[in-house]
Structure 1
Amino acid sequence: MKRFLVIILIALLSIPSFGCSNKSDTIKIATKPMTEQFILGEMIKLLIEDNTDLNVEITKGIGGGTSNIHPAIVKGDFDLYPEYTGTGWSFVLKEDGIPDDETLYKELQEKYKNNYDLSWIGLYGFNNTYGLVIRKDLSEKYNIKTYSDLAKYSEDLTFGAEYDFYEREDGFDALCEEYGMSFKKSVDLDIGLKYNAINSKEIDVMNVFTTDGQLADSDVVLLEDNKNFYQTYYCGTVIRNDILKKYPELEEVLMKMNNILTESEMAELNYKVESKKEDEKKVAEDFLRDKGLLK
């Protein structure tokens, strides 16, 4: 009798489970090489592990940003990552012009699904658009306060940006054409090294994101985009559809990130990590707990 029960028990344990994940399953997250993405990656990881039986592995700081992450996620090397609507529209889809926010997001969802079998799940709420900063000493010397002011002196200045910015439809070339800028030199920099470069005077001008925490801690001036060249860039999660199909519970979890961050909140989180040297995982966890999103 005992032997019979043991056989039944072994048989039951060997039956595969369907429709649910097990703790050995791992979701692979990629992030771009910037503090904001590190924090967002940690938030997504915490929410997934808090609400499912899945493990999460984050690969932080992929060099080249979207240019390397997008083909990798299409290939299946990663499962999801935080992306910006404007980047997806201009750099990935290579669409001309940027429509209104509602139209853009709707078309992003459709084209990512049809072209790449990827989905956009929710938007986090903050707009991290591009801006330009100049060293404070140069701003004061030449009285440069706007992009148009910058254009007058651009031939004497060195510009720095990450690879994506030079390749975007609304990036370096389009910006220079719109404002009549012609820089003495342009330098390709890793996102994480740009502030070091401008603080050490290796470059004079650079593009930034308007939620950069280091803006408050660097000797730079954020210039006015007086022709309103840049539009909104909202951040959301891009995920493989086969992963959503395999783990449908992820959609509800990822939607917990929808509309939870303002620009000022994101900038403050960035500042805590970049300037106050707090751990990005703790910063992410504290924020989610304050919002009541962790059990």
Structure 2
Amino acid sequence: MFKKMIAFTLIFLLMFSIIGCNKEEKKVVIASKPMTEQYVIAEMLKLLIEENTDIKVELKLGIGGGTSNIQPAMEKGEIDIYPEYTGTGWMFVLKQELINNSEELYKSVKKAYEEQYGIKWTGLYGFNDTFGLAIKKELADKLNIKTYSDLALKSDNLTLGAEYDFYEREDGYPGLSEIYGFKFDNKKELDIGLKYQAISTDQVDVINVFSTDGRLKEKGLVVLQDDKNFFPSYFAATLVREETLKEYPQLEEILEMMTGLISNEEMIEMNYLVEIEKKDPKQVAREFLEKKGLK
């Protein structure tokens, strides 16, 4: 009898161990680049997955080198999911020439990733974190400047501030001037960290920026419309390994909850809350999802 009890106990422990292992296997790894908006988005993805499935999420935030190190890890299966940008995927990873049409770019990069890497691009979040030109809102309203073309017409009375290489790169000021015909009265070379200070103290009227930078709100700036699509589009979306989707097919519907969810203005606001007001990215992510009715 005693031997039977021991045997039963061992079988029970073995079954419990197997069940425990199976539970532990339900896990995905989400990575992010070392960027504020990526921290927030990764936290959103974690919340959506863990609150709608029994899959646990391991976060690997702020990976140094960004795409350079995350893409190889995705290919090896070390990372399952991460946010990426269309322009980065097409030109940096795939080494292809710029496609100016944002819809065509998205379709092309999506198709190429599936064919070459077995990685799926989900729907775009909605915001475009590209390069841009920004101006104080009150000056833009006063001069009725909304687009780069509008700016070009008034540029001979304005001062532009940008870092040195922006004036040298063909995909910077030289190319912009050729397309739009800018004739700024003055052009100042500024370190990246000094541009916002310079425009807030009226040392310059226009600066080059990233279009979802949280400091845009802090300084009361607006990003003008690139009406001739000079800069590449960098619309963001979730990338997920197709092998991961085969293992957890329920993930696809959950990841698509992010499609069309975040505007440029909303991303600027969230970056501002983290960078300027020092809020926790997880808190910002949770509050945003609650506002959108996804929590």
Task: Say whether the fold is shared (TM-score over 0.5).
Answer: yes
TM-score, normalised relative to structure 1: 0.72
User: Do the aligned partners of 2:47 and 2:286 also contact (CA within 8 Å) in 1?
Assistant: yes
Cα deviation digits, residues 121-166 of structure 1 (max 9, x gap): 2222233332124799xx99xx9x757589989xx9652689xxx9
Cα shift at 1:176: 6.8
Tell me the SS of whatever aligns to 1:230.
coil
The AA in structure 2 aligned to 1:237 is T
Matched, 1:92 2:89: no
Question: Which residue in 2 is equivalent to 1:218?
Answer: 219
Deviation at 1:65, TM superposition (A): 3.1
| CA distance, structure 1, for counterparts of residue 113 and residue 38 of structure 2 | 21
SS at match of 1:22: helix
Q: Distance in 1 between matches of 2:61 and 2:105?
A: 27
Counterpart position of 2:163: 159
Is contact 1:81–1:238 with CA below 8 Å preserved after alignment?
A: yes
* Contact 2:124–2:236 (Cα < 8 Å) also in 1: yes
Unaligned runs of 5+ in 1: 188-193
In 2, Cα distance between equivalents of 1:77 and 1:152: 53
CA–CA separation in structure 2 for the residues paired with 1:240 and 1:84: 16
**Which of 1 and 2 has greater Rg?**
2
Distance in 1 (CA, whole Å) between partners of 2:112 and 2:6 is 58
Classify 1:200/1:24 alpha carbon distance in 2 versus 1 (closer, same or farther; 3 Å).
Answer: farther
Q: How does 1:115-126 map to 2 (within 5 A)?
A: 115-126=116-127
| 1:283 to partner: Cα distance | 0.9
Give me the CA root mean square deviation: 4.1
SS at match of 2:238: strand
Cα separation, 1, equivalents of 2:208 and 2:82: 25
Counterpart amino acid of 1:228?
N
Mean CA deviation greater in 170-179 or 51-60: 170-179
Whole-angstrom distance in 2 between the partners of 1:245 and 1:171: 42
1:264 aligned partner:
265
Calculate the TM-score normalised by the size of structure 2.
Answer: 0.72
8 A Cα contact 1:48 1:250, kept in partner? yes
Matched, 1:5 2:2: no
Residues 58 and 13 of structure 1: is their aligned pair in 2 closer, same or farther, counting only changes over 3 Å?
closer
Change (3 A) 1:99 1:13: same
CA distance in 1, matches of 2:164, 2:56: 38
Identity of aligned residues (%): 43
Partner of 1:198: 195
Residues in 2 aligned to 1:198 and 1:31: alpha-carbon distance in whole angstroms: 27
Q: Is the 8 A contact 1:133 1:220 kept in 2?
A: yes
Establish whether residue 111 from structure 1 lines up as the match of residue 140 from structure 2: no
Q: Assess if the C-alpha contact under 8 Å between 1:160 and 1:206 holds in 2.
A: no
Unaligned runs of 5+ in 2: 199-203
Partner of 1:57: 58
Task: Count residues with an aligned counterpart.
Answer: 275
Which amino acid is the alignment partner of residue 210 of structure 2? V
Rate the CA distance shift 1:123–1:221 in 2: closer, same or farther, 3 A: closer
Report whether the alignment pairs 1:255 with 2:246: no
CA–CA separation in structure 1 for the residues paired with 2:233 and 2:209: 15
Distance 2:124 2:161 in 1: 37
Change (3 A) 1:54 1:176: farther
Note the 1:173-188 alignment, pairs <5 A: 175=176, 178=179
Q: Secondary structure at the match of 1:235?
A: strand
